[in-house]
Structure 1
Amino acid sequence: MTRIRELHYRVAGAAVGLFPGHHRSRSGTSGFEFRGHAALQDAPDVRRLDLHASLRDPFGGWIVRLHSERKSIPVAMVADLSASMGFEGAQRKLDVLADFAESLAWSAWRTGDSFGFVGCEERVLPAFTQLQSRVRGAGVALAQRLRTLQPQGRSARALREAHRHLPRQRALVFLVSDFHLPLAEVETVLDSLASHDVVPIVLWQPAEFALGAARGLAQVREPESGAQRWLWWRPALRERWAAAHDERRQALLQAFRARRLAPMFIEGAFDADAVTRHFLA
């Protein structure tokens, strides 16, 4: 059995929840991180009495120390499972997605967080929708199904509905797609997830944008609809193709940055260490 690579993530703000975990919070009174003082009647725990602070209190009250507790968070992956995700270059996009989902589910379990998954094409796919779970092997079976999936969806418009399948509590959401959809639709999806901490993951393969000979007749195919056409490659068209690729990347970056999101581009195989570095940057 291949060893699952663990990745490490974190959230920018304080975690909010009821379950103990790994992430810093601003709640609780019996943790290990000092947060401040409070009157004994507001936090009735005599074990936390601070005699020095009590002696300094001008009203002669008893003062206790407050220590924030570490909390767990929901971690979810919202994934594009439309036909374009079946593209295969050096790696198949769905295999990269499967490796990512398996690693994230394992890492969430190791961290004490719950893991959920929402797979979308023209509709949300029940077979690829997993509610938040703390089961140890939650990602293994899911990854196996992803590796055998032959995507047929002509669009990923159900990404706009994914927020309905996420927990109400603020979650860390990995939005994974090749983002080969209209920019206005990308913005709608991002806005629908605004109540969560979103990390856009752009899955591309270099072969998607690579051209062969400098000139000649070539057959191209639209990945979602399957429509095919013949083009005569020439230097001018090659330059337009490269420029369109760069413009698309910049347009996506602008849409992400306008919402203060830090995207990650995966252009090849999945690398758990690269995901960890993304959060530490």
Structure 2
Amino acid sequence: MTTIHPGVCNSQEAVHRRLGDVSVKEARRAATSRPVWAGMFARVDSMTEQVQVTRQYERTDTLLTRAGVWGPGPEGVTPVDVLLTAVVSARPREILEIGCGTGQFARLVMETMPECDYLATDQSEAMVAATKRRGVATRLVDAMQLPFMAETFDGVVAAWVLYHVADLDRAIREARRVLRPGGQFAVATNGDRHLAELLREAGGEPLVTQFSSENAAAALRRRFRHVTQRDIETRATFPDHASAVAYLATFSEELAAGLPWFDGPREYAGFTSVLTAR
């Protein structure tokens, strides 16, 4: 389950709040009065808990709302541009995408490389249906149990999805298994500071996930010998308060309600990475 550019990511920062020299009674009061959703943005398991993941991706409008706010950062490129270049430059004949979302990236690759055989997969029925409507061959598949023989594909893509899988190493191992010798695994994810300012303004905290700009390379190196990483800064632009609230609501209604009012447009920094592994 992916998007061209999802909005929330991870951060080690502010995972635990310091209570200082307060009494036990005061500490308990602080803990119980804190909105339960605020802690959600600091837990690793909130991104891999499958009930929450399923709920987030049971409708395609969630991803479309998230994707619509993102644009290039200081370099003038988006992570999608970088990922597309990485995939196309490898010249694969057969490509498997894990977590295809609404099929936007699949369509981009197919238009750029019409000769390639592209198979998109997702574990969300809604995403599979949306991708099929784009004319992309799509299957309902679990990333941790790929129903393909070993050495089937020249390229595997996983864009903004590996922080969701319940068993990260198993998913990476499966991607490695279905790749032919010399094939490339291309992935995209977010960094610790991704949208941190917006999340804090809303009273939340950036997430700490199992697959981020800070730890993705190490996870990939457990199964691949050669890993490259390019970090890309992006920008999320909200024309008004209502659009920012709508964006946050795709993760949590309570979080959206916590965003203080502001007048006019606002821009927030996003931090992403594209990695390749062979």
Normalising by the smaller structure, the TM-score range is 0.3 to 0.5
Q: TM-score, normalised by structure 1?
A: 0.37
Q: TM-score, normalised by structure 2?
A: 0.37
